[in-house]
Amino acid sequence: MPLGSEKVVNVIGHINPDTDSICSAIAYARLKREVTGENYVAKRAGQINAETRFVLKRFGILPPDYMNDVRPQVIDIDVGRVKGVGEDISLKKAWELMREDALQTLPIVDENEFLKGLITIEDIAKSYMDVYDSRIIANAGTPFRNIVETLGGEMISGEPDETIKSGKCLIAAANPDLMESYIEKGDIVILGNRYESQLCAIEMGAKCIIVCDGAPVSFTITKLAQDKGCFIIKTPYDTFTASRLINQSIPIRFFMKSENLITFGLGEFLDDIRDVMAKKRYRDFPILDWNGRYFGMISRRRLLGARKKKLILVDHNEPSQAVDGIEDAELLEIIDHHRIGSIETMGPVFFRNQPLGCTATIIYQMYKENKVDVTPEIAGLLCSAILSDTLVYRSPTCTETDKAAAEELAAIAGIKTQDYAMEMFAAGSDLSSKSPEEIFYQDFKKFVVGEQTFGVGQITAMTGRELTAIKEKLIPYMQKAMAAHEVSMLFFMLTDILQASTELLYYGSGARELALEAFHLPKDTETIILKNTVSRKKQIIPAMMMALQEE
């Protein structure tokens, strides 16, 4: 089963998460785990703002992991867990491993599991067909233990871990007089049971004699070999078979590909690797884990088995506000309190959308419907989300259901709503040290009406003085933000919680005219102050959409 699809369902909010988006994801993931016993995990699609950080710290909850793209990744496919081998194993051993597991490619790793190279069936075949060098065993730095293993032999004399560094390999088929003319110091000599041949090879300084046909080796030959530093290997194979097999003892590092390896990481997106794979002739590609160590192998065929990530959306239902790659994910549920957007699904999903002030209110209702206890920590998160979204019941989106839910949750969490809300908003509105970008994206959403796309951000503060300082940062930044989002108009709400009013900043061709028309303001208005206006969802967006539709 693909690693990333082990029944994990990601519960995630919108790309510029506010307190409701984060807290609802955490609370709903817990509810689903309690009800189903399955693995539901809260995620976030953007950076956590100061207010939400305060809430999570206050109730001892870790922030959800970041997920910025839900397209299928390497981790979502069936990665072949082919075990890596050391670079010193013989060609014969590599061939046996590949034949046993029907592999085309074998990964070579070091002692820390970092990838060193690859060897293919084709590489091994070429090693048999293209090698004519009698010194290749030495040139390859072959350990004697590889020869013993390859020949199914026994080392009578010598050190198996010693590496062959010089000499050629030959067969002693001639008489001793002729052998003296071609055996050199350091050679490996394959021979039979003839005492004279064995003695001659040792006397000529051979590094190793390989005695074939399982012939016994006399004590005299063994003692002489030890005195001369000559190794003895006894093999059951005849001289022809031994000479044919011995090159298979060469370590695979001599033939492996070790440069310009094409590797992929577990986190890479399949869309990004398909083109790379198509341009290469290789059948298999190595996968590295999050630490850069070898993990497994994939082939083009395995890409067909990729499973989509399973998602539940909370606090949004529009593609423009959703995490990247939403069209490639398997959407299971949507829990929201906003207008219904244009999101499309491949099949039916559970969709719960209620005209309430906060998604957290819906989540709390579902806890009660499923008779699942709300812990003080979860109660604190849900209550914080409601207080934040409704601006402590001041927003026109707030309903009596929201207020009742918040007060019940506050009792479970052990907090007083008014006092706690002041702490929370104070923590969230401390924006003096933040960059214009951090402030702008703390709560920003895009909207589409016909062919028009516009963005609306919002920041709330406890004092007008703080909003004035923020305004000086934001106005020059809005030009850059507009270009980045390819929208025709940008708006930003500077909302004074205590005064229940908003100053609306604007940028872009037609932005000022749209705002004046939407809120029925005089045409000479420069600074747009909207009294008794705190809600983007219920007061700003509907008015703008209506004005655009009337154009």
Q: Which domains does the chain have, with CATH numbers?
A: 3-72+308-428 (3.90.1640.10), 74-89+100-126+255-303 (3.10.580.10), 141-249 (3.40.1390.20), 436-549 (3.10.310.20)
What tokens does 70 get?
A: 């839900």
The residue type found at 114 is F
Average pLDDT over residues 428-454: 82
Picking from 283, 6, 66, 252, the residue whose alpha carbon sits closest to that of residue 142 is 252
Would you say residue 6 has pLDDT above 60?
no
Amino acid 130: pLDDT: 64
Amino acid 1: pLDDT: 44
Amino acid 186: pLDDT: 93
Distance CA 410, CA 417 (A): 6
Would you say residue 182 has pLDDT above 50?
yes
Would you say residue 287 has pLDDT above 80?
yes
DSSP letter for 375, please: P
Residues 539/396, Cβ–Cβ less than 8 Å: yes
User: No. of H helices and E strands in the chain?
Assistant: 20, 21
Q: What distances in angstroms separate CA 253 from CA 121, 127, 192, 306, one per listed residue? A: 14, 12, 31, 33
358-391 confidence digits (pLDDT tens):
999 999 999 999 999 999 999 999 999 999 999 9
Average pLDDT value over all residues in the chain: 90
Average pLDDT over residues 21-25: 98
Would you say residue 216 has pLDDT above 50?
yes
Q: Report residue 432's pLDDT band, with 50, 70 and 90 as the boundaries.
A: low
220-278 confidence digits (pLDDT tens):
999 999 999 999 999 999 999 999 999 999 999 999 999 989 999 999 999 888 888 88
84-88, 401-405, 434-438, 462-466: range with lowest mean pLDDT: 462-466
Picking from 178, 203, 173, 202, the residue whose alpha carbon sits closest to that of residue 190 is 173
What tokens does 135 get?
A: 């010194």
Would you say residue 3 has pLDDT above 80?
no
Amino acid 300: pLDDT: 80
Q: What percent of the chain has pLDDT over 90?
A: 67
What is the bridge-based pairing of β-strands 444-449 and 452-461? antiparallel
Would you say residue 303 has pLDDT above 50?
yes
- Give every CB contact of residue 86 below 8 A, 6+ residues apart in sequence: 108, 109, 110, 111
Amino acid 4: pLDDT: 47
Amino acid 220: pLDDT: 93
Q: Report residue 5's pLDDT band, with 50, 70 and 90 as the boundaries.
A: very low
Its pTM stands at: 0.67
What tokens does 27 get?
A: 């609370």
Q: What distances in angstroms separate CA 408 from CA 340, 382, 386, one per listed residue? A: 28, 10, 12
Residues 537/539/542/547 CA torsion (nearest 10 deg): -140
